[in-house]
Amino acid sequence: MAGKGIRLSDWFAGSRQALWLIWALFVVPRALLILLNVQPWSDAAYYFERAAELAAGEGYHAPGGGPTAFWPPGWPMALSLVFRVFGPSVVVVGLFNLLFAVLGGLILLQLARRITGSELAARLTLLLIALYPNNAAYVPLALTEVFYTTLLLAICWLLVEQRDWRWLAGAGLLLGLATLVKAQTLVVVPLVLGIAVLRAPRFWAAIPATIARGLTLGALAAVVVLPWSLRNQQVLGQFVFVSTNGGVTLATGNNPSATGGYVDNDPAYLALLERKHELGEIAFDAEAKRLGTDWIKANPGKFVGLMPAKFIKLWGPDGEAIWSYEMGAASYPANAALYTAVRWANQAWYWMLLGLFAIGGMVQARRRWRGGAALFDWWLLPYGIAAYPTAICLVFSGQTRFHYPAMPFIAISAAWLLADWLGRRTGAEVEHQPMPC
């Protein structure tokens, strides 16, 4: 049994055929999902329509209205580039997402190799994501998740690997693009650079260079974002860095009717919503921010008491992509039971990933605390990436799709634990030391 186990793990980690098999499991289901022709709905419809208008040279406008910055423009801008060439269609969206899904898989494989130092763990990481239904389900959808996750993976990989100034420059420019997709991406910079400082042999000596890298990243990101901010100044009459929905997001998560999720039917918020046209986009968002902030100040206990519910709504359920299929896929009514079964299977897979992630973190910390390796190193990155949407949701609201970008990072830690267990079971301990910079 041990010999067979060793041969199987050796084949999986070292064989080109095994790697091609993993890629087939990754690419084929995602390509087939495009054939379901899922029509855009809700947020996806908004992005699709804005991308089509941008491709037609009509600018970035609110539905049936004037210029807007209500939602970040990065994803519609990127999508509009392919719409200009191939025309707006759900097939084009799916193929564009498939391209970025494969690119994200390639980057994930490299990042996992760098963090774990193990080819077995890296390939297991890709396999765990390949077989994760909710990850695949977003490929046909006109939503930000696939595109943004690839950008986030690329930024982290460039910063972790960072061989020379070109890697830093690339990370900075991608940071700007990712910020145009999700403004909160800037939080990732102190996270990654903080780990870089903590793992440095001479902690204090590394701080000045790290601060310089952070400033460089910020400046390069600003080069990408500022043209959009200046456009907002010109068409909206006020400088808006990325978007004008921050106040709305705060108010819909913190109000007398709040449950931990996105609640937009609270009477106070509905009363404000009736004044939206009168106030204008920027003033409306400012009033929404005031509404949410005032409620938090008046109800600090309730605000803190909502945090567990927000956490559960973010990390408890998974498989939310099924809503898009339910509303936009012609095949759904006749196959609702099959879709539901896949979602339950997905939920089990998701909970398995979270369980391995949690156990892996405890095992890593325990071993490193006992002196097996440096306590502060890149193994912390997946846990930091998972903490970043968590911190945001505890203030605003918990929505399950917001954990999507963290899942490939979670898979790295889960795969490391599996590879370590396989190595110990077969008597060949898996190397999990990071490779030198």
Average pLDDT for residues 91-99, to the nearest whole number? Answer: 98
195 found inside a domain = yes
**pTM listed for this prediction:** 0.94
Please check whether residue 37 lies inside any domain of the structure: yes
Domain that holds residue 309: 2-425
Mean pLDDT for 188-214 is 90
Q: Which is more confidently placed, 206 or 176?
A: 176
Tens of pLDDT, residues 391-437:
999 999 999 999 999 999 999 999 999 999 988 776 554 444 443 33
Share of the chain above pLDDT 70, in %: 96
Q: Looking at the domain assignment, is residue 143 inside a domain?
A: yes
List the single range of 5-9, 50-54, 170-174, 432-436 with lowest mean pLDDT: 432-436
Which of the two residues, 424 and 348, has the higher pLDDT score? 348
Does residue 43 fall inside a structural domain? yes
Residue 431 falls within a domain, yes or no?
no
> What distance in Å separates the CA atoms of residue 333 and residue 281, rounded to the nearest whole number?
38
**What is the mean pLDDT of the segment spanning 19-28?**
98
- CA contacts within 13 A on the Cβ side of 268: 18
**Residue 297's pLDDT band (boundaries 50, 70, 90)?**
very high
**Exposure string over 172-203, b if 16+ CB within 10 A, otherwise e:** bbbbbbbbbbbbbbbebbebbbebbbebbeee
Rounded mean pLDDT of the chain?
93
DSSP letter (8 states) at residue 332 = T
pLDDT at 115 over 90: yes
The answer, yes or no, to whether residue 162 has pLDDT greater than 50, is: yes
The predicted pLDDT at position 2 comes to 43
Quick one: pLDDT band at residue 1, thresholds 50, 70, 90? very low
Q: What are phi and psi of 61, to 5 degrees?
A: -120, 155
Q: With respect to residue 432, please indicate whether it lies within any of the assigned structural domains.
A: no
- What pLDDT was estimated at residue 434? 40
- Asked whether residue 370 carries a pLDDT value surpassing 80, the answer given is yes
- Are 280 and 242 a contacting pair, CB within 8 Å? no
Answer whether residue 435 is part of any domain: no
Three-state DSSP string of 199-265: CCCCHHHHHHHHHHHHHHHHHHHHHHHHHHHHHHHHHHCCCCCCCCCHHHHHHHHCCCCCCCCCCCC
- Tell me the pLDDT band of 315, cut-offs 50, 70 and 90: very high
Predicted pLDDT at 427: 59
Beta bridge partners of 61: 67
Is residue 343 pLDDT above 90, yes or no?
A: yes
Each residue's pLDDT tens digit, 176-185: 999 999 998 9
Mean pLDDT of 360-370: 91
Number of structural domains (the chain) is 1
Q: What is the pLDDT of residue 435?
A: 36
Task: Please give the helix or strand (H or E) that residue 6 lies within, else none.
Answer: helix 2-14
Establish if 97 belongs to a structural domain: yes
Look at residue 261 and give its three-state secondary structure. Answer: coil
